[in-house]
Amino acid sequence: MRAHFEAVAAEVQANLKGGEDFLANFRAEDSTFIRFNKSAVRQPGQVREAELAVDLIDGRRHAESSISLSGEIGEDRSRIARMVSDLRGVLGDVPEDPYLLVSDTVQPSTRQIGEAPPPPDEIIDAVIQAGSGRDLVGFVAGGPVWTGFANGRGQRNWDEATSFNADWSFYAGGDKAVKTGYAGFAWDRRAFARIAADAAGRLEALTRPPRTIPPGEYRAFLTPAALNEIMAMLVWGGFGLNAHRTRATIFLRMIEGGARLDERVTLTEATAEGAAPSFQREGFVKPPSVTLIDRGAYRDCLVSPRSAAEYGAVTNGASRGETPASLSMAAGELPEADGLKALGTGVYVSNLWYLNFSDRSAGRLTGMTRFATFWVENGEIVAPLNVMRFDDTIYRMLGTSLEALTAERQLLLDPGTYDGRNLDSVHLPGALLSALRFTL
C-alpha cells in the first residue's frame, strides 16, 4: 500500500504548474467486519478502500477535493489529473486565505503499530463461546489502516496502525443491557474471555427487580466507559487554542478564575500511545505527547496551524478542530477489583449518554444513565437502577468530589465506521466520586 501512496503522490506533483504547491492526504484500510445478534454471526464482511484528498495551493489561495482510488496507478493517474485540473479551475474564484499555514520544514516520518489480527474464524469462535446461552449483540472490526501525507517540498509521512475493536452488549430485555468492549493492538483471547465473564456477572444482576431512588447526591463509581462520555464533552472545544481565545471553552473558570481540578487529574494528548497518525493534514508532525491538564491545573492548548497563524502562536500539530485524537488520563491507585468495596453504598454507573452542557461557562454537564447502572450496598450490587439524570460540574466530578482513580486503565477505540474506521482513542481509569448530583 505504501508503494501506491508514493506513486499517487508523485502523480500529483507531476500535474503541478509553475508556482503551485499541494498537500496530499492518503487514507486506506483493509478491514474485517463481523456483526453479531443473539450470539450468532449475522453479517460478516471485508472492506478494502483508499481515498486521496488534495489541497492545491497557489500563493495564499487554495482549494481542496478528494477522490476514491482504485489501487491501480494506471487508472488512478487519470482521476488525479482531472482532480488537479478541476482544482486549478476553482483557484481563481476563491479569496486569499490569511490563516493558511503549511509546514516549511520537511519532516518525514514512518510509524507502524499493532499486530495482524487472528483469522476471523478464531474471533468468531471466541465471541460465540462468550455469548453461549445469552443474547450477545454487537460487532468486531479489525485490520490495518494506512495514512500518508505528501507535499510539493518532498515531505512524505507514513503511518500504519493495525487494531481491533470488539464493541458489544449482553441484552437482558427492555432498556437493560450490559454494554462492554475490548480494543487494542494485539488480540488476546484470554483477555477477551475475562472481560466477557465480568460482563456476564453483571448481566445476572440485571435480572433482579429494578429500583428507583429519589433525586439527590450519591456516592458513585464511574467505569472508564462512563468517564469517556464526560471526556467526550470536555474535548468539544475544551482544549483548543481558538476556543480559549474566544472564551468558548468549558474550562473558562480554570483559565480566568483560577479554578482547578483534583491533583490526581492529568490529561495528555498521548499521540505515541494511540492509533491516530503522528502527523496532520497540513504536514506538521505531532509531538509524542502534549500535557493538557497537569495535576489539576490547565497547562497547554492544542494549536492547529490555522490558530497558530491567527493568534501568532506555535502549532503543536493539532487537527483543524483542535480536539485530542489520543486522549490519555493518568491512572490512580485504587485497584479496579476493589471498586465496589471502595464505593460502599451508592451508584455504580456503567454508561452515560445524551450528555450536553447545562452551563458551559461554569463547566456544568447533564446527561442520563444507560444500560447497567446498579444500586450498591456495603460493596455488593443489590439491584439495577431505573434511568436517572445527573447534573453536575467538572469541578466537582473531577475536583472536590473525586476520591480515587483506578490503577488499571482501559483503552477505548472510537467504534465509528461511517467514513471508514475511526482511529481516535482514549485511555482512561475508572473514577470513584464522593458525590454525584442526580436531578431526576
Q: Count Cβ atoms within 10 A of the Cβ of residue 321 and give its class: 0-12 exposed, 13-18 middle, 19 or more buried.
A: middle
Which domain-ending residue is among 145, 171, 206?
A: 206
pTM: 0.94
In a domain, 211, yes or no: no
- 184 & 304 share domain: no
In a domain, 40, yes or no: yes
- 157 & 56 share domain: yes
Q: Helix, strand or coil for residue 377?
A: strand
Residue 29's beta-bridge partner residues?
Answer: 49, 145
How many degrees, rounded to 5, is the angle at CA 427 between CA 253 and CA 292?
30
* One-letter amino acid of 233: M
- 335 & 423 share domain: yes
Digit-coded pLDDT (tens) for 260-308: 999 999 999 999 999 999 999 999 999 999 999 999 999 999 999 999 9
Within 208-251, strands assigned E span 216-222
- 98 & 228 share domain: no
In a domain, 106, yes or no: yes
Backbone CA torsion sign across 180, 186, 192, 198: negative
Residue 399's beta-bridge partner residues?
Answer: none
CA–CA dist 412, 425 (Å, integer): 6
- 223 & 361 share domain: yes
How many degrees, rounded to 5, is the angle at CA 305 between CA 301 and CA 307?
55
Helix (H) / strand (E) containing 159: strand 156-173
How far are the Cα atoms of 32, 45, 122, 243 from residue 250, in angstroms, in the given order?
Answer: 38, 41, 45, 9
For residue 147, the enclosing domain spans 2-206
Joined together, the cell numbers standing for residue 413 give 477505540
Backbone CA torsion sign across 221, 223, 229, 234: positive
- 186 & 253 share domain: no
Q: Which residues of 51-73 are buried (b: 16+ CB within 10 A; e: fewer)?
A: ebebbbbbeebbbeeeeebeeeb
CATH number, domain of 188, equals: 3.30.2290.10
Joined together, the cell numbers standing for residue 185 give 493492538
In a domain, 190, yes or no: yes
- 292 & 160 share domain: no
Model confidence at 421, pLDDT cuts 50, 70, 90, reads very high
CB of 220 closer than 8 Å to CB of 346: yes
- 142 & 170 share domain: yes
Q: Helix, strand or coil for residue 353?
A: strand
Digit-coded pLDDT (tens) for 326-361: 999 999 999 999 999 999 999 999 999 999 999 999
Share of the chain above pLDDT 70, in %: 100
Instruction: Give me the mean pLDDT over the 109-135 stretch.
Output: 93
Q: Helix, strand or coil for residue 130?
A: helix
Q: Helix, strand or coil for residue 24?
A: strand
CA–CA dist 24, 11 (Å, integer): 11
- 117 & 248 share domain: no
Instruction: Give me the mean pLDDT over the 67-87 stretch.
Output: 94
- 184 & 240 share domain: no
- 57 & 202 share domain: yes
The total domain count for the chain is: 2
